[in-house]
């Protein structure tokens, strides 16, 4: 990395658009309770873009995996599974928005 610092170019660019307080704060983990969000305000997104119909139509992701995760009781130990589903839903949304088949 330039000057021995990680993400040097990204930070240099971000200085133009982000306040210094944001750039200087320490790293932190994910702040979103994805399992809770998937059961509440993200549920319509998941229902729409991870439906069996869409998953099979796009043929990009394994519908059985999607269904297994969605049917499992929400718990903290499954948060990475839910993050993957969130990325899958976003992928389907973008594919449809940009007419990618």
Q: In this predicted model, what pLDDT tens digit does every residue of 22-53 receive, in sequence order?
A: 888 887 776 788 888 999 999 999 999 999 99
Give the DSSP per-residue string, the chain: -GGG-TTHHHHHHHTTTS-HHHHHSPP------HHHHHHTTTHHHHHHHTSHHHHHHH-SS-HHHHHHHHHSPP-GGGHHHHHHHHHHHHHHHHHHHTT--
Report the percent of the chain where pLDDT is more than 90: 56
pLDDT value of position 96: 95
pTM of the model: 0.70
Residue spans per domain, the chain: 31-97
């Amino acid at each position: 990395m330039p000057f021995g610092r990680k993400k040097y170019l990204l930070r240099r660019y971000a200085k133009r658009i982000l306040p210094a307080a944001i750039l200087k704060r320490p790293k932190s983990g994910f702040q979103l309770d994805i399992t809770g969000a998937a059961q509440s305000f993200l549920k319509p997104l998941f229902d729409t873009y991870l439906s069996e119909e869409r998953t099979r139509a796009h043929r990009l992701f394994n519908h059985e995996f999607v269904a297994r995760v969605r049917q499992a009781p929400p718990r903290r130990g499954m948060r990475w599974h839910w993050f993957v589903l969130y990325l899958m839903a976003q992928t389907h949304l973008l594919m449809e928005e940009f007419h990618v088949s």
